[in-house]
Structure 1
Amino acid sequence: MAKFPLLSCLLISAAVGFSWAFQSSAPTSSCSTMMPRHLSRAQDHGTNPPPYQITIDDGIDTYKPNQQIDLVLHTSEPSVLAQGFILEARTVSDDKPVGTFVNAHKGTKIMCDDKAVSHYRTYQVSKTRYRMTWLAPDTDVGDVVFVATVVQSYRIFWTGVRSVALKRHSPTPSPQLEETMFQADTNVTSFCNEALLMPLPVERPHVAILCDDHVQCPCGWFCCPTCVEERCFGQAICRRPLPVEEAAEVKPESDEESRERVERREPVRRERSSRRSRTW
């Protein structure tokens, strides 16, 4: 008679152990380990690859802050129905759970402080696909990958079933539209007081260093004031800034070119001096 209580205990223990594989959802202890409480070991991916895949909808490969992304855990082989699973989004760099799961779909349960999603059922049922929705965090966490543990039977399960990595979306700066001033290739009259009578030779036309009256024009152009007798008369031209490689090719003005420039400007200087004298 003493054997019957012992046999009953063994049957109850076996039933409890069996129920871990087929309970309504993964236990909370799996939140950190992602391991089922089974007596067997996980299958080796090398000798027995998992027949399950994690697919991200629409082929998305990047994510933005607070973006909702739909994904599916599925198998194309009806003979390997998933009895249960737990799935999380983890950082590629340090394997930490990130983001949250929202809008629990049929047959799933959100758990682990919304960091994971698991199967959910009140009766025994197996499925070929589970759908879920992940909400990306509002901070930069780097690349993210979805990782799952999938149970096929009490003794057969796989850990480390992974999706392709999602990269943090980096917006490409849109090119700035050039204003009308940029349509000219050389000298353009600026928004200074008057227009110059002739271009002003400058060793480095992309830097306004000629006078103390440095005026910067719109669109990154620089006003180069015309200096007469070390005074700036507010007359200027705008020259488009040169790229570094082009600026390096600009040759300094020779002494002869400098003398010719002064001679060309001498009549203008005399006329202005005469006008100032008549004004006073």
Structure 2
Amino acid sequence: MLPRKRSTKLLLIAVLCLVQSSEQHGSGAPPGACLDQIPRHSTILPQASVPPYAIITSSAQVRQGDALNVTIGSPFTTPLPIGGFILQARSIQDTDKIIGKFTGVPTVAQIMSCRGDNDTVTHTSPQEKPPLTFTWVAPNDYLGGVEFRATVAQSYATFWKNVESTLVEVVTPDTVITTSSPVTTTARTTQAPPVIMESKPNTTPPPLDSIYQGCADTKLCFGVPQNCIPTGYCKAIVAIFVAGDIYTFEIQGTDNPKYVSAALSMDNKMGDDSAMECVRNDNGRVNLFTSWTYPKVEPYVKRSDSPQDIVQLLESSTIDGKLYCKFRRDTVSKVMGQTFDLARNKYNLMVVSGDSMKATGEPLALSTVGTAAASSKLLLKLHGSFMIAAWIGTASLGILLARYFRKTWVGKTFGGKDIWFANTDGGDVATDRGRVHPDSSGGGRLDWYWRQPSRDYGDCYSGAYFRPHPGTNKRPIFNWAHWLLGNSAHILGTSTFSLPLYSPASRSICWVYTRRSYYCL
């Protein structure tokens, strides 16, 4: 009898332990799992492998107050049953913020309240479950991106954390959402006769994206390349709508960019600007950041130097290769010690997407309506034209006269100088004037790179004025020095011609290459 009583006690203890374990796993997620979604299964850690489960939503967009179907399950060839789970909708901007509420759940699930009413769903029993579909309602006071996040358990000791859906956008009630209707198939009983239809081209132009609407009468718009806004196809565009003291920005980039950015600047050069970035991650999530740009200091853009709470994301999307963000910016903000007052001050607008960058030609009040004009490249092209004429024309002519006509025009003088020497000096002076003219025309920072070699080259030629008379003992020294300095200046000028290709002020790359090709020829 004693062994039987001992065995009964041991069996009873084992049953109680199993009941306690089944309660921990089977009755739903504990309240402590509301934030981190960890089921508290003793010391068991989540799996590090790719989750065999997925979360699918019925649409990529949902209006404020509308319902959305959310399905959780295993989409692979051999689907795995669900043992337990906890599912929530999280804000993209603040991943600790739980969004919306659930209104409809299957009988094997239950609704619980973590941060708000009915904002979480979980299981009711540890029994194996097929894919489950829930009804989630978007809040009326939220705009922006959300993602559904879950922890799914296959068994008590095997579970996966951070099972995430694709991005879902909560948009305004007046937003038009297009969804593809399911394709239905019916059995064909009789074969219809062939119908020959004439195909005519559709002459109706496609509607403009929403960011272009109002650019002529209600918004300030600026895009790249130049004159792209009327056509509705800009590689990058920024639009600003002002209503009272509320400043709403829209930025969009095409050709599937990783980011598109707009900046407020005191001038039309990159550096010391307050930028706003719309960034797409590899998983399709779109984030909004602010940053401060630096002209000559790596990494050139720093988000940590700009407060992130001066902007509020309203909408974001990645549709047909177009990255789009709509957000508000505080009317008055302070970044890197500078006060940006959107109502009182004027700013140059900049827009960047990939390798496309453009700045407005003059500061503008952001409440201005219409299309902003870009800064002109006329002075840059005039600079290149004068340099081509100087280096290819007059400089080459001076060298040609000095080298081949020195012995031809013997005894002929002009102004007391041998005619070959007078013509060479004339070419040198014209060359010097040609390279000085762009300096006074406002070549800007780019001119600093081009100015130095030509000045050295001209100074080298002007040294010919100080040559000793032929026959003196110093003439060979002068000849060798003149040859050495002239060739050194020529090599320096040739190699330095490539520097503008890497200058941040050089935006007309084709023009620079053309100028360089002319010089080499």
Is contact 2:64-2:143 (8 Å) kept? Answer: no
| Residue correspondence of structure 1 range 64-143 to structure 2 within 5 A | 64-77=63-76, 78=78, 80-95=80-95, 96-112=97-113, 113-121=117-125, 125-143=127-145
Show CA shifts across 1:139-173 (max 9, x none).
13531110001010010001110001112336437
Deviation, structure 1 residue 99:
0.6
Q: Does 1:34 align with 2:33?
A: no
Whether the 8 Å contact between 2:143 and 2:171 is mirrored in structure 1 is no
What secondary structure is seen at the aligned counterpart in 2 of 1:17? helix
Structure with larger RCO (C-alpha < 8 A, sep 6+) = 1
Residue type at the aligned position of 1:118: T
Distance 2:118 2:371 in 1: 52
Partners of 2:106 and 2:55 in 1: CA distance: 16
* Alpha-carbon distance in structure 2 between the residues aligned to 1:79 and 1:53: 11
Q: Give the distance between the partners of 1:42 and 1:242, measured in 2 at CA.
A: 55
Residue pair 1:50, 1:161 contacting (<8 A) in 2 also? yes
Change (3 A) 1:79 1:175: closer
Distance 1:244 1:36, change over 3 A: closer
In structure 1, the partner of 2:51 is 50
1:76, 1:128 within 8 Å by CA — same for their partners in 2? no
For the aligned residue pairs, the C-alpha RMSD in angstroms reads 3.3
Matched residues in 2 for 1:21 and 1:107: separation? 14
Give the TM-score normalised by the residue count of structure 2: 0.31
| Amino acid aligned to 1:168 | V
Given that 1:21 and 1:151 are in contact with CA atoms closer than 8 Å, whether structure 2 keeps it comes out as no
- The residue aligned with 1:261 is none
SS in structure 2 opposite 1:117?
strand
Gaps of 5+ in 2: 176-209, 217-368, 374-521
The aligned residue for residue 203 of structure 1 is: none
For residues 213-237 of structure 1, the C-alpha deviation after alignment (integer angstroms, 9 at most, x for no partner) is: xxxxxxxxxxxxxxxxxxxxxxxxx
1:18 and 1:64 map into 2 onto residues whose CA distance is 40
Whole-angstrom distance in 1 between the partners of 2:107 and 2:136: 15
- Change over 3 Å in CA distance of 1:42–1:137 after alignment to 2: same
Kindly indicate whether the alpha-carbon contact (under 8 Å) linking 2:100 and 2:119 is maintained by their aligned counterparts in 1: yes
Distance in structure 2 (CA, Å) of the matches to 1:150 and 1:101: 18
- Give % identity: 26
* Structure 1 Cα separation of the partners of residues 211 and 140 of structure 2: 21
C-alpha contact 1:91 1:141 (8 A) present in aligned 2: no
Unaligned stretches of 5+ in structure 1? 179-240, 246-280
Instruction: Tell me the alpha carbon deviations over residues 27-56 of structure 1, each in whole angstroms, 9 at most, x when there is no partner.
Output: 333223322121211111xxx211100001
Q: What is the aligned partner in structure 2 of residue 216 from structure 1?
A: none
Amino acid at match of 1:86: I
Alignment-derived partner of residue 187 in structure 1: none
Could you tell me how far apart the structure 1 residues matched to 2:171 and 2:138 are? 11
- Residue pairs, 1:165-184, within 5 angstroms: 165-169=167-171, 171=175, 172=210
- The within-5 A match list for 1:134-173 is 134-169=136-171, 171=175, 172=210
Is this contact kept in 1: 2:66–2:138, CA < 8 A? Answer: yes
Given that residues 144 and 171 in structure 2 are in contact (C-alpha distance below 8 angstroms), is that contact kept between their aligned partners in structure 1?
no
Take 1:151 and 1:67, find their aligned partners in 2: how far apart are those partners?
30
Determine the C-alpha separation between the residues in 2 that align with 1:35 and 1:102.
24
Structure 2: distance between partners of 1:146 and 1:244: 40
Is 2:26–2:124's contact at 8 Å kept on the other side of the alignment? no
- The number of residue pairs the alignment matches comes to 178
Question: Alpha-carbon deviations, 1:108-164, whole Å to 9, x = none?
Answer: 21111301011235xx53122010011111113531110001010010001110001
Alpha-carbon distance between aligned partners in 1 of 2:129 and 2:86, rounded to the nearest angstrom: 14
Q: TM-score, normalised by structure 1?
A: 0.54
